[in-house]
Homo-oligomer: A and B are copies of this chain.
Amino acid sequence: MRDPGDVFHLAIPARDLDETQRFYVDGLGCHLARRYDDRITLDFFGDQVVCHLSDRWERDPGDLYPRHFGVTFRRREDFDALVRLAEARGLDVYAPVGHRFEGRVEEHLTFVLRDPSNNLLEFKHYFDPRMMH
């Protein structure tokens, strides 16, 4: 149902735009689309993430639930490349590669990063691609 021309967009809080740009662009390899005084907009794996300068950022990332976002990779090699990138560039790992729902159809790998404003980014890979939603 995804139209390849459409873009998912997500707005999240950022406590500082410079450190945010360093994390997402220099670190995670996202492309910087635009920067304004109060926000930056990113080409985040082909979708749009907008980081708004705001005092409403999470002081404590606490639990992965109920708020996080990220990419579910169709191919294992893309998941592995993201993990390698995070290690090579020393990104802040909130949870190392884990294995969830082993032995069930929903089985998948998960890897969680934390951005400087305590937003949590989860990357996943399902063994059965029909479970990606």
Interface residues of A (CB under 8 A from B): 1-14, 25-26, 29, 31-35, 41-43, 45-48, 52, 54, 56-57, 64-75, 78, 81, 84-85, 88-89, 103-106, 122, 124, 127-133
Contacts and interface: CB of A to CB of B under 8 A. Distances in A.
A130 B1 contact: yes
28 contacts: A1-B43, A1-B130, A2-B4, A3-B74, A5-B75, A5-B129, A6-B71, A6-B74, A7-B71, A7-B74, A7-B133, A8-B8, A8-B71, A10-B10, A11-B65, A11-B67, A11-B122, A12-B66, A26-B35, A31-B43, A34-B106, A52-B65, A52-B66, A54-B66, A81-B127, A81-B128, A84-B128, A88-B105
A19 to B, nearest CB: 15
